Amino acid sequence: MTASRRRASVDVLLPGRYEWYVKHFTNTRRVSDSTVRRLSLYLRYLEEFQRRGLKTVSSQELAHGTGTTPAQVRKDLSFFGSFGKRGLGYFVPELITKIRAILGLGREWRVLVLGAGRIGTALAGYPDFARQGFRVVALVDNDRSKIGGASGGVPVRDVADLERIVQQELIDIAIVATPAGAAQALVDRAVAAGVRAFLNFAPVKLDVPAEIALRNVNMALELEGLSFAMTSGRVLAV
């Protein structure tokens, strides 16, 4: 209490204290998941904006186009630097470059789809992935009648060769589009072979080591959210 707020001599890094320390004395601020999601939305909107030939954009416009508030836009961006010009706004091409760098979109990411069923094949040919630098290199399946074929230009290969494919094709990301029961075992093999990130469409909780990135997309869950909103008379716009 008597020491200055910025340098108390007996301050020890207790739980809670630690977070505070990180936040105030390092540049390793925790960026929330919601912030990252919004950055993607800003990027999408900026690209559209650029297509229309516009040069600068204000936090106001960006917020309106992505369903958030101007303060939120500025706060989100301020985690990563000062990209705007006061009185003017942000230069569209420059901000696109910055956000792409933040999101790690300056390179090509190599993607393998696990499961060549309806969802897997639909995702393999999804044009938005390629547009942002996610290149789907192959699908794998265990169905003999599918192996050797191709879907939207992407070859279907034998899941038995998973490890070899991951290593030869330098796979970064796997999209899990298998039945729920098969997912965890394949993910374990993929992790062991070197895949560092997973986008999971199977309706199961996947266990992965802490250093592996994982996101879940659960479509039935989204419909249930709509069902809840309609039933309870509330509205959930997310």
Q: Which residues make up the interface to DNA (CB under 7 A)? A: 15-16, 19, 30, 32-35, 58-60, 68-72, 74-75, 77-78, 82-90
Binding site partner of 74, from DNA, a second copy, none, Cβ cut-off 5-8 A by kind: DNA
Q: Does position 199 bind a second copy by CB under 8 A?
A: yes
Choice between 14 and 220, CB closer to a second copy? 220
Q: How far apart are CA 222 and CA 230, in angstroms?
A: 13
Closest distance to DNA from the beta carbon of 166 (Å) = 32
Closest distance to a second copy from the beta carbon of 218 (Å) = 7
Q: Which two tokens stand for residue 205?
A: 């909780």
Task: Classify residue 53 as left (phi > 0), alpha (psi -120 to 50) or beta.
Answer: left
> Contacting a second copy (CB under 8 A), which of 40, 50, 58, 72?
40
Q: Which residues contact 49 (CB under 8 A, 6 or more apart)?
A: 57, 61, 65, 92
Q: Does position 187 bind a second copy by CB under 8 A?
A: no
Q: How far apart are CA 85 and CA 121, in angstroms?
A: 45
Q: Which two tokens stand for residue 91?
A: 């230069």
Q: Which residue's entry shows tokens 């030939």?
A: 53
Query: Any idea how long the chain is?
Result: 238
Choice between 135 and 189, CB closer to a second copy? 135
SS3 77: helix
Residues found near a second copy in the complex (CB under 8 A): 31, 33, 36-37, 39-41, 43-45, 65-67, 102-105, 109, 111, 118-119, 121-123, 125-126, 128-129, 131-132, 134, 152, 172-173, 196-199, 203, 205, 208, 210-232, 234-238
